[in-house]
Amino acid sequence: MTYIRRHLSNMAAPSKRAFVTYQEAKECFDEFKRETQTNWRCIYTTPVFEKSPQDIVKEGTFKKVLWSLASEKGISIPNTGVPFVFVGKKVWACHQGPDRDKKDKEKKSKKREELNKAVNTDHNFSKQGRKRNLIQATKKVDCPAEVHMIYILQFDDYKVTKQTEWQRKLAAKKLRQHLANSTTSVSMSPKFILKLSPLNSHEGPDIPLKE
């Protein structure tokens, strides 16, 4: 039985799981979409998910060493004494969520109206001139459901045994020095944490589930 099938009955709450590779996380999300018959649109992404941990450390795309991560809508990580760096994130919204293309649609509609007026002013009554481009009514219902994924690099070798501010600062400083030194080999564990939206978070039409 697959991970999604095992947890569908408990999907009244967000489901969070960590993966070693982006491909594994993506496959889990694809399975979730199939089993729940839901469609999603990527509304935010950091272009680093295909990069290796070595390339990320070499490029220095992260800002600081973290011990925990707090997020109301996204993914939170408790302090376990193991430092990590935040690499990037992806966010998907339900395809029936807020219409994020509304402004672009309004601009296109305005241009069409101006073009039609210009055609009529020139007394062009051909079929092409009389043709109106109607904007199809949107199917958006402002559904708030979202799926989140973050990419972090965890450094287990720098775990602190005592949760004191001094020990964390000391370990973080040592880690940053080692990461900045190209001759020092640093052991790291990539993690792709996927947070699936609970089924009851959808609003609008009912979400059908496969038997």
Whole-structure pTM value: 0.74
pLDDT for the residue 123: 52
- Per-residue pLDDT, 103: 55
Q: What local confidence, expressed as pLDDT, does residue 120 receive? A: 61
What pLDDT does 211 receive? 41
Q: Compute the Cα dihedral for 149, 49, 209, 136 and give only its sign.
A: positive
Residue 6's pLDDT is: 59
Burial (CB count within 10 angstroms: exposed 0-12, middle 13-18, buried 19+), residue 12: exposed
The predicted-structure confidence for 120-160, as pLDDT tens digits, reads as follows 665 554 455 444 554 445 555 688 899 999 999 999 999 99
pLDDT band at 111 (very low <50, low <70, confident <90, very high): low
